């Protein structure tokens, strides 16, 4: 008996997502090696250090995906989203952040990671918080469908407050505003597709727009001083990087030089000049500038199209998923990737202040790629269940 058209579409979506993910991982490995070989050799005489660490994290992430596709993975996926467990999941996420005060390691003055003993691998609990928030919101919407039918204030707070508390903990304890923004961005978008009261969303958007406009206007009138808060200074640098080359303007300007020098077709893989000790953290947050320099506008546009394809495939998966919990998980993962890609590219191209957000699957970062692959493992499981349902 031939496969039904419905089942064939599910299989094609799963294969498409798998191929896109594999392509991004391979592209990321090439760019991590290209951008980090010089720094790795200068720091530890090991040009493969960053590449090797990233490979280990990606291998671990692929194992997590395979676990999700087993019967045990299905049980785990359903259990963590259950009413009994998801509150414990939020508590575990909160504890993982709080315990950084006692067991975290400091990197560049920020305590955001746990070091795995006996290895060079570190884990960032903020990434775990993002998954916990996605699962919490998806489970709440699935178990309490009334939240999706009416925009009641109590229902809104039930969805909004727990992620807000976690985002606050991440910001206060780890001084990581970018992760806090991503957590709340995921939350607001998941609430937007859940609660149909447009007035609530419009009011919140209006408040945010007014406050942001007022703050930027105020900052633009300030005189630069060491007495001003760190983030305020960062915004001032963003507004006029040429005037603050010694105080943070150097990195974004060098990134723009790299983007501009790449032209239409780029200088070729491995031939970037700006990566040779000029752009700080070039293999992390600023890797997109190297992609632009080495592959040009064509390569950068192609990468953006690949990300768009990944997001579109996940949208189609969510649209075809009947189970509310699975649908919301897929949407949460989709929003997470879309937000992080947008923030990274906007920072590198100078459209917003530096936030320290990596480019998903491309930038160096073991915690980030491991948890992103874990999120995709849940998406693959949802597709698998769709296929099983259509047999």
Report pLDDT digits (tens) over 315-325.
999 999 988 99
Residue 253 belongs to domain spanning: 5-389
What span, in angstroms and rounded, lies between the C-alpha atoms of 131 and 135? 6
Asked if pLDDT for residue 150 goes beyond 50, the answer is no
Contact 117, 105 (CB under 8 A): no
pLDDT score for 67: 94
**Per-residue pLDDT band at 357 (split at 50, 70, 90):** confident
Instruction: At 235, list the tokens.
Output: 């915004």
Higher per-residue pLDDT: 106 or 347: 347
What span, in angstroms and rounded, lies between the C-alpha atoms of 318 and 330? 6
Asked if pLDDT for residue 37 goes beyond 60, the answer is yes
What HEC string does 296-358 produce?
Answer: HHHHHHHHHHHHHHHHHHHHHHHHHCCCHHHHHHHHHHHHHHHHHHHHHHHHHCCCCCCCCCC
Domain count, the chain: 1
What span, in angstroms and rounded, lies between the C-alpha atoms of 95 and 98? 5
pLDDT score for 185: 93
Report pLDDT digits (tens) over 220-270.
777 766 667 667 777 877 777 777 666 666 778 888 888 888 889 888 888
Distance of CA 13 to the CA centre of its chain: 22
Q: How much is the average pLDDT of 148-170?
A: 79
Instruction: At 386, list the tokens.
Output: 């769709």
Per-position DSSP letters for 191-209, written without gaps between them: HHTT---HHHHHHHHHHHH
Whole-number average pLDDT of the chain: 85
pLDDT score for 257: 85
SS3 122: strand
How many other CB atoms sit within 10 Å of the CB of residue 27? 18
């Amino acid at each position: 008996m031939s496969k039904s058209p419905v089942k064939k579409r599910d299989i094609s979506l799963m294969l498409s997502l798998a191929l896109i993910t594999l392509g991004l991982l391979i592209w990321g490995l090439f760019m991590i090696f290209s951008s980090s070989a010089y720094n790795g050799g200068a720091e530890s005489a090991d040009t493969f250090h960053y590449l090797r660490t990233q490979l280990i994290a990606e291998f671990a992430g692929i194992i997590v995906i395979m676990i999700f596709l087993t019967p045990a993975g299905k049980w785990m996926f359903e259990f963590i989203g259950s009413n009994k467990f998801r509150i414990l999941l939020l508590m575990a996420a909160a504890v993982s952040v709080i315990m950084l005060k006692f067991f975290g390691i400091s990197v560049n003055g920020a305590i955001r990671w746990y070091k795995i003993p006996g290895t060079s691998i570190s884990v960032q609990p903020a990434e775990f918080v993002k998954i916990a928030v996605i699962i919490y919101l998806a489970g709440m919407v699935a178990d309490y469908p009334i939240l999706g039918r009416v925009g009641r204030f109590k229902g809104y707070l039930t969805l909004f407050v727990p992620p807000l508390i976690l985002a606050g903990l991440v910001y206060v304890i780890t001084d990581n505003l970018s992760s806090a923004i991503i957590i709340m961005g995921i939350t607001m978008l998941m609430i937007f597709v859940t609660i149909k009261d447009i007035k609530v969303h419009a009011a919140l958007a209006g408040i945010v727009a007014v406050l942001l406009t007022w703050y930027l206007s105020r900052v633009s009138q300030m005189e630069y001083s060491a007495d001003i808060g760190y983030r305020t200074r960062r915004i001032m640098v963003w507004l006029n990087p040429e005037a603050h080359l010694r105080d943070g303007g150097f990195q974004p300007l060098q990134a723009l030089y790299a983007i501009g020098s790449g032209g239409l077709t780029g200088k070729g893989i491995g031939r970037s000049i700006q990566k040779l000790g000029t752009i700080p953290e070039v293999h992390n947050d600023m890797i997109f500038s190297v992609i632009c320099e080495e592959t040009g506008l064509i390569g950068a546009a192609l990468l953006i199209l690949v990300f768009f394809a990944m997001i579109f495939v996940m949208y189609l998966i969510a649209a075809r998923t009947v189970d509310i919990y699975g649908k919301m998980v897929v949407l949460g993962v989709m929003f997470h990737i879309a937000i992080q890609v947008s923030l990274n590219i906007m920072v590198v191209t100078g459209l917003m202040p530096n936030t320290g957000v990596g480019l998903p699957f491309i930038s160096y970062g073991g915690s980030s790629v491991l948890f992103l692959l874990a999120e995709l493992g849940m998406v693959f499981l949802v597709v698998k269940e769709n296929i099983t349902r259509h047999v």
